[in-house]
Chains A and B, each alone.
Chain A
């Protein structure tokens, strides 16, 4: 019985964290930037949300505030990267570190419980009479469906296409009149808005916010993306890709639930995730090397028959 409950909880957590993975997908796969802001902006979403709910603000409104704060965090990284020409990874780390202090300031302490305070989940539990993890799951799925639809639409528009082109071939994008710097800032802002929304939803669903709740979020997001790609393949439509990221996030949580049930220490979880991601990123490289060395033939010359120069 314990395992069933654990898996049900894992699925609902996976869906809510899947929104963060969607955000990471935008930067990592579409914009081709490794953005380390996320650890900070995930916690930022949670902290803003907790502080506002504690101050008596409507929990729905505090979700919106979390999104705006996350976008501002992404914007900051974007400006550091494009205007100040700081390498993207470092720009993200700077924002992330800065956010740690900001998040502490926002909450005034490192942990804020929401015990007797309203959350969107509690409101819906009262309204529907369903259990906590069912409500989490349903709310999460509604958010995910709406966000995937929104992202699908957005990346089909002129601005969205320009962001995709910027990530695909920056020089080409500029030569066709796209302001690639602005596109990167916009992409980072949208991404971190999603990440912060996810942080806020997770906070409301688990009933507390913690300044450390974002630690390792980037790796969890990458794990979700990679698991999704393993299952759905890389050559799918854009909509399927977005969905696969969330499915990847759910599967990641199920794996975690299972290994914890099997007796893994919670403290070792981050190590396990890091090893999982490192392995998943290494395997394709090794396969490619093997393929190449298998194709190596000392008896043929390498020319493809193309002359011209």
Chain B
């Protein structure tokens, strides 16, 4: 499904702010893998997702998705294969456009855009049904500007938009981190529901270890631009928070898990 081979990325090479964010990264996903990703601040989690999405070019290595070599494709082209939800709830939607317009944009992800009407009547009916699933009452406000919605509502909408057109791979980058605990929980359970229902392949970065353990069939831990731990299936099920902390301590040389690695929910 996804095959990342020997990918490295250095930001600002040759300057004082030079930073190697990914070091010879390798990752191979099976179809329908739901992988949770943990790791300290600056471990390279976001960078890995950004490299898959094509936000910045990679320095070396290859990325194949669904048999397609996307290593050098521009971001807007890869978008046909990817669904994305960002940490910042403002990032995934256009504030000045209506809910249904935003959904229609997402519905056309990866398709040619022409001079046909931007939102069709048939689509509005689909969107109405889809919005009901969120249970936020947005189906009654389809012509409202997205800028009027709360962060949680916008994030739920972004999630729905990311899956409206089934992606080959869903990329979630701490997409509940900026939400209050109750909304975060709701968005997380929606995520779980959508991934299972549509049998999506997904990468989900989280700073909550309990969520990382509870969700998905596979867990990877990143540190200093590399994957230092990769467990799946039965082995993952048996894993406990303490085991992860231990791993993390070993990797970071005794330095205890920082505040971003949350233990509580």
Interface residues of A (CB under 8 A from B): 154, 156-162, 164-165, 168-169, 171-180, 306-309
Q: Contact at B84–A161, with CB atoms within 8 Å?
A: no
Q: Contact at A157–B116, with CB atoms within 8 Å?
A: yes
A-B contact count (CB 8 A): 91
Q: Contact at B116–A308, with CB atoms within 8 Å?
A: no
Residues of B near A162 (CB, < 8 A) are 105, 113
Residues of B near A308 (CB, < 8 A) are 177-181, 184
> Per-position contact with A for B106-128: 1 when CB-CB < 8 Å, else 0?
10111101111111000000000
19 A-B residue contacts at CB 8 Å? A156-B118, A157-B116, A161-B97, A162-B105, A165-B105, A169-B93, A169-B94, A172-B94, A173-B94, A175-B82, A176-B106, A176-B108, A176-B109, A177-B80, A177-B109, A177-B111, A179-B76, A306-B180, A307-B180
- The chain B residue with its CB closest to the CB of A235 is B145
B137 at interface by CB-CB < 8 Å = no
Residues of B near A161 (CB, < 8 A) are 97, 101, 104-105, 113, 118-119
Q: Contact at B95–A175, with CB atoms within 8 Å?
A: no
Q: Contact at B113–A178, with CB atoms within 8 Å?
A: yes
B61 at interface by CB-CB < 8 Å = no
Residues of A near B105 (CB, < 8 A) are 161-162, 165, 173, 176, 178
- In the bound complex, how far is the Cα of B116 from the Cα of A156, in angstroms? 9
- The chain A residue with its CB closest to the CB of B112 is A158
Interface residue from A154, A157, A176, A306 paired with B79 (Cβ < 8 Å): A176
- The verdict on A159 contacting B96 (CB below 8 Å), with A176-B105, A177-B80 known, is no
Q: Contact at A158–B97, with CB atoms within 8 Å?
A: no
Those 10 A-B pairs whose CB atoms lie nearest each other, nearest first? A177-B79, A161-B118, A168-B94, A158-B113, A306-B180, A169-B94, A177-B109, A168-B96, A157-B115, A176-B109
- In the bound complex, how far is the Cα of B79 from the Cα of A174, in angstroms? 7
Interface residues of B (CB under 8 A from A): 53, 74-77, 79-80, 82, 84, 90-97, 101, 104-106, 108-111, 113-119, 161, 177-181, 184
Residues of B near A307 (CB, < 8 A) are 180-181
Q: Contact at B114–A175, with CB atoms within 8 Å?
A: no
- The verdict on A164 contacting B94 (CB below 8 Å), with A174-B75, A174-B76, A176-B79 known, is yes
Residues of A near B161 (CB, < 8 A) are 176
Q: Contact at B117–A172, with CB atoms within 8 Å?
A: no
Q: How far is the CB of B87 from chain A (nearest CB, A)?
A: 11
- In the bound complex, how far is the Cα of B105 from the Cα of A168, in angstroms? 12
Task: Report whether over half of chain B's contact residues are helix, strand or loop; otherwise say mixed.
Answer: loop
- In the bound complex, how far is the Cα of B113 from the Cα of A234, in angstroms? 29
- The verdict on A156 contacting B180 (CB below 8 Å), with A174-B76, A177-B109 known, is no
Residues of B near A172 (CB, < 8 A) are 91-94
Q: Contact at A158–B108, with CB atoms within 8 Å?
A: yes
Residues of A near B82 (CB, < 8 A) are 175
- In the bound complex, how far is the Cα of B75 from the Cα of A171, in angstroms? 10
Interface residue from A164, A177, A180 paired with B108 (Cβ < 8 Å): A177
- The chain B residue with its CB closest to the CB of A163 is B113
- The chain B residue with its CB closest to the CB of A162 is B113
- In the bound complex, how far is the Cα of B84 from the Cα of A307, in angstroms? 25
Further 7 A-B residue pairs, CB within 8 A, beyond A177-B111, A178-B105, A178-B113: A157-B116, A158-B113, A158-B115, A159-B115, A175-B92, A177-B110, A309-B177
Q: How far is the CB of A151 from chain B (nearest CB, A)?
A: 13
- In the bound complex, how far is the Cα of B101 from the Cα of A180, in angstroms? 17
- The chain A residue with its CB closest to the CB of B84 is A175
Q: Contact at B97–A168, with CB atoms within 8 Å?
A: yes
- In the bound complex, how far is the Cα of B101 from the Cα of A162, in angstroms? 10
- In the bound complex, how far is the Cα of B173 from the Cα of A276, in angstroms? 46
Q: How far is the CB of B105 from chain A (nearest CB, A)?
A: 5
Query: Which has the most chain B C-beta neighbours within 10 Å: A154, A159, A306, A309?
Result: A309
- In the bound complex, how far is the Cα of B111 from the Cα of A176, in angstroms? 10
Q: Contact at B180–A158, with CB atoms within 8 Å?
A: no
- In the bound complex, how far is the Cα of B76 from the Cα of A162, in angstroms? 12
- The verdict on A159 contacting B181 (CB below 8 Å), with A165-B97, A174-B79 known, is no
- The chain A residue with its CB closest to the CB of B259 is A309
- The chain B residue with its CB closest to the CB of A155 is B118
Q: How far is the CB of A237 from chain B (nearest CB, A)?
A: 11
- In the bound complex, how far is the Cα of B204 from the Cα of A130, in angstroms? 71
Residues of B near A179 (CB, < 8 A) are 74, 76
- In the bound complex, how far is the Cα of B86 from the Cα of A174, in angstroms? 13
Q: How far is the CB of A74 from chain B (nearest CB, A)?
A: 19
- In the bound complex, how far is the Cα of B64 from the Cα of A168, in angstroms? 31
- The chain A residue with its CB closest to the CB of B82 is A175
- The verdict on A158 contacting B118 (CB below 8 Å), with A177-B76, A308-B181 known, is yes
- In the bound complex, how far is the Cα of B116 from the Cα of A302, in angstroms? 48
- In the bound complex, how far is the Cα of B80 from the Cα of A178, in angstroms? 10
